[in-house]
Amino acid sequence: MITKLLSTSAHNSPESAHVIGDWPYGRKLRCEKHIWIETRKNFGQRVCYRTTNPKRLGTFNAPKNGGYNAFTIFGEDSQGMLVIEGLEGHSSPETFARVRALPLDEKQLSRLNGLEIYACKYNARAWENQPALNIAPFSNTSIVI
């Protein structure tokens, strides 16, 4: 469970990625791991990462890309471990409530609101016993899924 949210707007490219300094590379070597969230219109968001190559100093290995989700955030848990949370239209109401409790910025909140409205329509049976949607107010930004 995420206790400290890392800003996805600050970590949205390889150059501004979140860096984990001491990452294992094989059995004996160590490297750095760079993690960021890529957003692509009409596809969604995905987690991407690349590692430095300790055998050739100053070079990076090829980036590895995850699958697309409608909404993706990452942060740290209480032990300092990285936690990645991806939401889709079929995600449970409990998952939405857990993510909504985090300190989201305006853009993330707008994206989450749109996805939550879609999830209520898509998976009505899971949402039928939930209280009415408590969509947090946000400014005049369009809802993008």
Domain ranges of the chain: 4-127
- Computed over every residue of the chain, the mean pLDDT equals 83
At 32-45, the pLDDT tens digits run: 999 999 999 989 99
Query: Are 75 and 2 contacting, i.e. CB atoms less than 8 angstroms apart?
Result: yes
Please, are residues 111 and 139 in contact by the beta-carbon 8 Å criterion?
no
Element (DSSP H or E) covering residue 116 = helix 106-122
Tokens at residue 93, please? 């109401």
Closest CA to 73 of 42, 32, 101: 101
Roughly what angle, to the nearest 10 degrees, separates helices 106-122 and 93-100? 170
For the whole model, what pTM was predicted? 0.78
Write the pLDDT tens digit of every residue in 111-130.
888 888 888 887 777 777 76
